[in-house]
Amino acid sequence: MVDGEQARLVATRCGHCSRLTFPPAAVCPQCWERVDLRRELLPARGVLYAWTVVHIPDSGIAAPYAIGCVDFPDVSVRIVGRLVDWTEISAGDPVEFVAGVLRERAEGSLVGWMIRKAQV
């Protein structure tokens, strides 16, 4: 992934009970199925449910930064992640996921998915 490049999140769908789980799991948390699990992309966009600003970070993370909860209403999943920018975003806004640096470490940058307001 390249910093700022769009990212897609992968979940697990249980073939027995249809439960969708993020992050992907080796066992369905609802029915304990272990065999009939398949990977499925979450929708490219979600809706920001709520967010907050963190002022006291862990080592390697610049503060302040914001964390947001994102709903995928069509698939009944809610996830939490770091916001790219929180100055122009509100609960209820459509959001998408991009690659970004989550933490700086001695062995290099830790890159993962981040949340940003959806581009029109």
Which one is predicted more confidently, 58 or 53? 53
Q: For residue range 73-117, what is the model confidence (pLDDT) as tens digits?
A: 888 899 999 999 999 999 999 999 999 888 888 888 888 899 999
Neighbours of 71 (CB within 10 A): 17
All structural domains of the chain with their residue ranges = 43-117
Instruction: Enumerate residues 6+ apart whose C-beta is below 8 A from 57.
Output: 63, 65
Show the beta-strand stretches assigned E in the chain: 10-14, 20-21, 37-41, 45-54, 65-72, 77-83, 94-105, 108-117
Q: For residue range 26-43, what is the model confidence (pLDDT) as tens digits?
A: 999 999 999 999 999 999
